Structure 1
């Protein structure tokens, strides 16, 4: 008995070593290998060529500038929506919040492609409306400003979610006391709400900044045609022109990206270090400020922002899919469903991409469900340094840009595996392992939230009655965490099915994913096919999010990110 269950504990003795071993393979081994290759490149002088290359410094400059500007834009948009939808009685807050989060769930390369179809002299939608710029006019999005703008649109929901989490805890009675003391709404907002909201605002800015640093889809679509490279796209081009020094150079570039990301998080920690706001009183009120006649200003403002962020790009994407070629105006004469027929029925590569993406997403979601149930149990039952270390190691791959995870897995699995003598590089399995590492934290969070709401006495009573671990798991734990586990499956499936950054470096012939095919179709001039495939992806995202919305009432608080 003692070999199976620790005395005085409900945990099997093998469970924590199993979870730690999985985390070592998915997180520690790849990142350690990446660090070793980077150190080796520094030792043999290979890093000198990297750091003296003007392309590195230009890419670093573009990375920082676009990330800073994109973060500023996301702060402006995200905070506006967070304050209005959380603290006011503006109508239709639920549907507006749902629609506002949608751009975050749409793949960044689809967002970039939609905006390209929406702007410039060749836009089918603008041509149909007779408002397109004259032929020969530049495409404004193929610029540093264009990349930053789309960063802001893509990551504004991250700021919204981070800030909303803090605003829901703002005490209603404190604001009411200030109003009864004669303070106007603006003064109460400035002196009470804004200071309490600063931690969420700073956290949202940090998350947005790190996401901008690691974004590949937007600068790939908008930057590469204009020879504007960020560090992520520079790594991609280094692999495209492979040499014997590529691994060392890419390891050093990955370290630069990681350092910039860590620096952004360090700024967040320093900004929050001197703040200590204690919240007392009644929190989580549905509405704090009655905006009265200002509804006629703020509601159209939010709807207009949603139109330009979501509706207009989707309509442009649809228009691009319904014309025979990019630049042809959409009319009844040019309307054609050829692109949809091509991607669904004739193009072998798109059918392969659908099959691969659905397979990878389903296996990743199912596999991580099993791991999350086990890891969540261990991490909520243990309270020691080892469990905190394992939890941190699970978070690291998700916090790092996907391009770094891809490089790390290439370094580990490019050579044949010991004993087995087979290599995973060039197969779908290396993408699957990289997905496991990247999305483990996404799957784990809802399950951990559910475990923390369980009363340990339920399981302890069953254990004292003689029920073994698997019996307790089957009869008590799994039924109680099932709603959160189901939500984690949908979230992981949704993210993995549309992923590009990790698979951009790991795919080979026959292992293309939807994100890779959309990028390749657009890059090769098949913008109508890329648009049609993107429309189908957007519809799939909306369907999955609506399914989560229907499940929301049965889930623990915080599992569905856009709901209170």
Structure 2
């Protein structure tokens, strides 16, 4: 049966209602349920006990402190890398950008474990080289400063991406005119580039702050052992000690996290309000300043920073995974693959976690692909208002902290489904729903970008020749967007496979994911097993990023973030 398109439009009649239905189910329904529960709880006085709880205010203070300090660390590191790799004649820029993006792609709990293995008196790596602090010395990362430092390292790539995008859009002619007028490189940087780059700095700082507020893995690994709770870990603690007021409390705490995230974005808007940043002239590749005799020193500093934040922590993780037990010195005689054999061959929990993560990630990646191909077509072929509405509804679940979405899913599916009478709470299906909701925007962006770059006349010619929507999609559009679709699948798989924040509240016996398995192994004292599993996850991340690098030349701009 042939599907008739709207008059004057190549879209079939069922397409836009289908897209709206998907957005309602994955975005509006769960977050609306969370909002309703929070409002009803406040109206019934359910927040009185929570407000009088000192643990709430301490967790709020810890969240604000670690998020703000972590944002400062991210701005310093990410800003320096963005300026140097974009504006100056540094060699091996692609390799440096690729490696700098790795901390953001590595799960936060793995980042925390690697740094714990690198520092402190029980560090296997430090003991192997005779530099470990005396036994009994405190672990310096189990502190507010330690949490903030790792949050900054984890989210420095966000600042790098935001600032680099702004720097690449700077006007070439204005910078060249200033140089020809005799302005030094420092004057151009101070008087032209940095003022114009302020929106990129502000956007990156805001994104880092919002990401810090919702981060669960790093505060859980570093904070809970020291009784330092942030709002996400407080939600986890309250959910673990389930009581009569648990649902009301976690809905209010989730609302508070959402408000903090919104406040970070509003501060960014306030900073930029009243300033005009319109650029006149040609933009693209910015002026390339020469470091001259300083180039070797600057390049050495960049590589040393990467060694410090990436290579050494990973080396500590590998060393911990090869040691027979946490804190035992690593030697050629004591080195063993026992931990890898245990997590891969003997531990049924880790095998189940591998299977669940692979199944959830692949199902999410390919399931969302089917949805976002249609959604991306609507975004590219509709008016600006419709495209903005679809994009905003898809972005909201991804922009909010994962712990908020997890709570929304719990509230939505705690009771059996209407009409069906079946409950998916405590099953793998609630995780799959949460993944679909959380990663919808990740899949949509590269596909929508690919559709925008296609010439509509190709499809219009096929339509006038009598080809239906399905035929046009299969024979013309799908082959042209195939590289972007492949990138979307890899990105969703990469992020979903290592996810912890959402699944930390939604998993149950038999539905553990890799992120949950790593956290539980560390929590139970099996640090060497957690390290071995983390090493395998890092290798998986590098392999997936390598695939994206191979596809980079065929992808729309912006899909591979470490490339221009």
When normalised by structure 2's length, the TM-score is 0.98
1:390-418 Cα offsets, whole Å, 9 max, x none, are 32111100000000101101111111112
> 2:347 aligns to what?
347
1:101 aligns with 2:101: yes
> 2:464 aligns to what?
464
Going from structure 1 to structure 2, the CA distance change for 1:536 and 1:477 (only over 3 Å counts) comes to: same
Q: Is the 8 A contact 2:406 2:434 kept in 1?
A: yes
> Secondary structure in 2 aligned to 1:239?
helix
Aligned-partner Cα distance in 1 for 2:297–2:186: 16
Going from structure 1 to structure 2, the CA distance change for 1:359 and 1:434 (only over 3 Å counts) comes to: same
> Secondary structure in 1 aligned to 2:439?
helix
> 2:175 aligns to what?
175
Q: Is the 8 A contact 2:171 2:286 kept in 1?
A: no
> 2:148 aligns to what?
148
Aligned-partner Cα distance in 2 for 1:427–1:170: 50
> 1:51 aligns to what?
51
How do 1:392-471 residues align onto structure 2 when only pairs under 5 Å count? 392-471=392-471
1:251-310 Cα offsets, whole Å, 9 max, x none, are 000010000000000111122222222323343226510111111221111111000110
| TM-fit CA distance, 1:492 | 0.3
Q: Is the 8 A contact 1:89 1:287 kept in 2?
A: no
| TM-fit CA distance, 1:230 | 0.3
Aligned-partner Cα distance in 2 for 1:399–1:286: 30
1:370 aligns with 2:370: yes
> 1:388 aligns to what?
388
> 1:329 aligns to what?
329
When normalised by structure 1's length, the TM-score is 0.98
How many aligned positions are there? 564
Aligned-partner Cα distance in 1 for 2:205–2:247: 32
How do 1:122-521 residues align onto structure 2 when only pairs under 5 Å count? 122-285=122-285, 288-383=288-383, 385-521=385-521
| TM-fit CA distance, 1:3 | 7.0
Q: Is the 8 A contact 2:175 2:287 kept in 1?
A: no
Aligned-partner Cα distance in 1 for 2:285–2:461: 37
Aligned-partner Cα distance in 1 for 2:134–2:399: 43
Q: Is the 8 A contact 2:446 2:488 kept in 1?
A: yes
Aligned-partner Cα distance in 2 for 1:385–1:252: 32
Going from structure 1 to structure 2, the CA distance change for 1:478 and 1:315 (only over 3 Å counts) comes to: same
Aligned-partner Cα distance in 1 for 2:546–2:128: 31
Aligned-partner Cα distance in 2 for 1:294–1:557: 31
Going from structure 1 to structure 2, the CA distance change for 1:174 and 1:384 (only over 3 Å counts) comes to: closer
Q: Is the 8 A contact 2:3 2:468 kept in 1?
A: no
- Hey, which bits of structure 1, 4+ residues long, moved more than 3 A? 384-387
Going from structure 1 to structure 2, the CA distance change for 1:169 and 1:385 (only over 3 Å counts) comes to: closer
> 1:554 aligns to what?
554
Aligned-partner Cα distance in 2 for 1:14–1:240: 44
Aligned-partner Cα distance in 2 for 1:463–1:225: 63
Aligned-partner Cα distance in 1 for 2:98–2:463: 42
Aligned-partner Cα distance in 2 for 1:91–1:391: 37
Aligned-partner Cα distance in 2 for 1:491–1:279: 32
Q: Is the 8 A contact 1:172 1:288 kept in 2?
A: no
> Secondary structure in 2 aligned to 1:222?
helix
> 2:6 aligns to what?
6
Q: Which consecutive residues of structure 2, in runs of 5 or more, have no partner in the other structure? A: none
Aligned-partner Cα distance in 1 for 2:388–2:174: 36
Aligned-partner Cα distance in 1 for 2:389–2:91: 45
> Secondary structure in 2 aligned to 1:11?
coil
| TM-fit CA distance, 1:92 | 1.0
Q: Is the 8 A contact 1:82 1:160 kept in 2?
A: yes
Going from structure 1 to structure 2, the CA distance change for 1:465 and 1:41 (only over 3 Å counts) comes to: same
